[in-house]
Amino acid sequence: MKTENILLCAPTCTLKELNNLFIELTEKNCNQHCKQCYIDFPMNKKIKDFIHIDKIKEALEQTQSAPLNCIYLTGAEPMTHPDFNSILRLCLKRTNVCICTNGSFINEKKARFLKKVENESKYSILFQLPMNHFNELKNDEVRSRGSFRQVIHAIKNLNKYDFYIILCITNYYKEPKKQMLTEFLKVLENTGIHMEQDNIKINEFWQKSNTQEDLQEIKGSLDCENSRILTSKGIYTCPFLANDYRGRMGSDFSNYSKRIPLETNFCMTCIKNKEQMFAINKNLFKD
């Protein structure tokens, strides 16, 4: 038996404090079919698997003493949830809310409405929008046809109402990050969008399949140090491991595990990435 590829003792990560609460509003409901989605099952807009708002209320009560910087509404596509507006208002009573969306629901009217909702709260609404490449064809090849223009359209509508946007680039083609950043800023500028470097986050493309690599030394910061995700099935470490038995931390926030062995291929991607893959830089929330 070969032993060199067996992880005898995987490193672990312990939750330091809960600053980022991810809430999966739906596991499978999405209006797009991106080829590179890290969620394994086929997306379908007919699946009605939405989390109940009472479960979110319960989680907010149980995490009352946690110093949350931000609640992230995720999915599949969170804006397909029929109670999306009520959930957004509920979360905004507690802290800032980041909507992680494919952008397809953000027209001018929706952006105006969301600004109205934000103005009712002392906290902010932020957006994370996904892209893969600054070249429209290369981008749509791994996402879905029309998604590049859809995101550009959403950014323009959100900019009009002065929302903070983070463009999350998954480096599918494994190109040099610095070059990607420069090209993205140029392309956006040509479409009339001015963005700063801080608004663009470039992540490593994740490893789903088995790999022979050893886990490297952990040098950066991992999402599981400061985050947990609530789904309709329970509490999990991070969006990568949502609904995956390897990331299960408990059934609710009254009693959940704080420690996770870093033994999945997703963990390897996080370690390589050297900075948190899902959470927004916490400095953004300092006044």
Note whether 222 binds ligand SF4 by CB under 6 A: yes
Please name the residue that has the structure tokens 């033994």. Answer: 263
Note whether 29 binds ligand SF4 by CB under 6 A: no
Pick the piece of the chain touching ligand SF4 (CB under 6 A) from 2-10, 44-52, 66-74, 264-272.
Answer: 264-272
What's the sign of the alpha-carbon dihedral 168, 169, 172, 175? negative
Closer residue to ligand SF4 (CB): 73 or 238: 238
What the block records as the tokens of 158 is 């959100």
Number of H helices, E strands in the chain: 7, 11
3-state SS, 6-48, equals: CCCCCCEEECCCCCEEEEECCCCCCCCCCCCCCCCCCCCCCCC
Alpha carbons 111 and 137: distance in angstroms, whole number: 27
User: Would residue 103 be called left, alpha or beta, if left means φ above 0 and alpha means ψ between -120 and 50 degrees?
Assistant: left
Cβ of residue 228: shortest distance to ligand SF4, in angstroms?
10
Note whether 266 binds ligand SF4 by CB under 6 A: yes
Note whether 238 binds ligand SF4 by CB under 6 A: yes
Pick the piece of the chain touching ligand SF4 (CB under 6 A) from 17-25, 66-74, 81-89, 222-230.
Answer: 222-230
Pick the piece of the chain touching ligand SF4 (CB under 6 A) from 21-29, 106-114, 154-162, 263-271.
Answer: 263-271
Closer residue to ligand SF4 (CB): 167 or 222: 222
Which residues from 240-259 bind ligand SF4, rule CB under 6 A? 240-241, 247
Alpha carbons 267 and 263: distance in angstroms, whole number: 6
Pick the piece of the chain touching ligand SF4 (CB under 6 A) from 89-97, 160-168, 184-192, 238-246.
Answer: 238-246
Q: Pick one of 25, 165, 270, 279: the residue that binds ligand SF4 (CB under 6 A).
A: 270
Q: Pick one of 56, 226, 264, 279: the residue that binds ligand SF4 (CB under 6 A).
A: 264
Note whether 13 binds ligand SF4 by CB under 6 A: yes
Alpha carbons 135 and 149: distance in angstroms, whole number: 11
Closer residue to ligand SF4 (CB): 157 or 273: 273
What the block records as the tokens of 284 is 């953004």
Those residues with Cβ within 8 angstroms of residue 103's Cβ, 6 or more apart along the chain or in another chain: 129, 130, 150, 151, 153, 154, 155
- C-alpha angle 142-51-244 in degrees, rounded to nearest 5: 60
Number of residues that bind ligand SF4 (CB under 6 A): 15
Cβ of residue 241: shortest distance to ligand SF4, in angstroms?
5
How far is the CA of 188 from the CAs of 134, 184, 192, 272, in angstroms? 8, 6, 6, 28
Note whether 267 binds ligand SF4 by CB under 6 A: yes
Closer residue to ligand SF4 (CB): 234 or 247: 247
Note whether 260 binds ligand SF4 by CB under 6 A: yes
Note whether 224 binds ligand SF4 by CB under 6 A: yes
- Per the document, the length of the chain is 287
Closer residue to ligand SF4 (CB): 14 or 107: 14
List the beta bridge partners of residue 234: 231
Residues that bind ligand SF4 (CB under 6 A): 13, 222-224, 237-238, 240-241, 247, 260, 262, 264, 266-267, 270
